[in-house]
Structure 1
Amino acid sequence: MHLNFKDIYYLLDFYAYYSRIKKDCTLANEIWCLKAIFAIEKYYVEAFYKLKRDNFYGAWCTFGHVETIYKNLFKHYNSTLDEFKINSIYEYTKQFQKIFPYTLFSSVELKIDKFKCNICGKERISYKRVCNHKIGELYCGKLCAQIPEGITVINDSLVENPMDKCTVPFINGIDTYDYGKIKTLISALDSPFDDWNFEITETSKTHSEFKHISGDDSCPCGSGKIYSECCLNKDEIIIKHLEFYVNKPIEEIEKYNHYYINKKM
């Protein structure tokens, strides 16, 4: 019998309800972990096929969901056995994220009047614990978290490591990022679970090789900065080269690429 993700979630919701009726908190916590595991697998597969459809920003946000759920699950998951390959999915998620062109993100500074525990509803001040529930722990199938109340936006800035990775800035709402590296990789992958890796090497170039580039043009090093504010006054230009390694015969890659383009998935 073949079950899809929807069927699996339906069964897990049923057993979660059953565990609450029976007041079996051990079972409820196990069901929560299983739901998190299948959510990670589901989002990872979705992100992969979003890349196949050139929905790069959508894939980026979905990989972010994988990362968030994994971090919530990790302390409750037997990572030694890893029978569901969740650790591998997380590692591939981090690898995908590294080759996206996003480097800066919008982040807001917030003033929050108070927090409440989502388990007991008691008020907490500045993350001080006034109840017996600990953030990140499971309580009868529910993950303890802080609920903010009275939120005011104070400031907006650009940061490199935001809490919300979906806050990618787009100039005038237009996506002008270069997804060439992602496109090269995803064209070589057949399945979300193909084995792949990458290596970054550096090559030194002289300024004479870029005489046709003005100081106001983008720097040849690929930093995204203009030439005059980046490498123009340096002795040499360091060019980074990204090389992918896919554990699959090249014939299969070419055959799949042809199929993929024709089907327009």
Structure 2
Amino acid sequence: MISNRNLRPALSASLISIALVACSSAPKQNDRLEQARQAYEQAAEDVTVVKHAPEELDLARDALNVADTRWRKDEDSSSVEHYSYLTTQRVRIAQLIAKSNETDRELEDMALERRSLTLDLREAELLKARQEASELQRQMAALQAEKTERGMVLTLGDVLFDINEATLAPGASRNIGKIASFMREFPDRQAVIEGHTDSMGDDDYNLDLSRSRAFAVRQALIEQGVSASRITTQGFGEALPVASNATAAGRQENRRVEIIFPDAPTQISEFEE
């Protein structure tokens, strides 16, 4: 039987071990975020602030939520501190608004600060958009697409398939992999896959072949981790040629699969066959 004297050190060691594991799993505390949190909670409990400045208080809460989310994801501390700062400033503005007997000069200063904070938020949003665009360019550096009214159109030539076949050729995996990587990195992007053929052969056969080829590309993307709900397919057969079917070179151009990314914000470039 274990005595109480021997049991106490064992329990203490276990509790210390549990505490260390818990501490290692959470991001390091951010002092500015905690200060912002306290400032918001105090303001939210102030009946005067809630009554007279609900809009500013909501904006403070939104900024605090952004800061807290980025802290929990262990993102760049400067971003967490930026939104913590915005929270604190929004709280301060809410408190100023709640003082109904403020002088005209104080109210004017507050309006100027509100405009300044709005610009800060817009600059932060623009910075995030630029970073996403830069990452998009990096991810798609090996691709080439044409900007059209439908979005960015990536054309895959007939090298993906053998003649009259709808099974992807072994050499197609590299290009499919690049497209799948892009779609995994940017999960908000939808894709429309269209199949096209030349005019050789029966119309119905060409239509079925174009549909099968578009579906084969879709299946390959799904197998590489792209959600099926993000991809639609369509076959046009020989109906939409991009070159003359009177020459071998023209027919080769017409035998293609097009992947359309509707409303893609950045041009994709340098696709390697």
TM-score (structure 2 length as normaliser): 0.29
Please identify which structure carries the higher helix content.
Answer: 2
Higher alpha-carbon Rg: 2
Please identify which structure carries the higher strand content.
Answer: 1
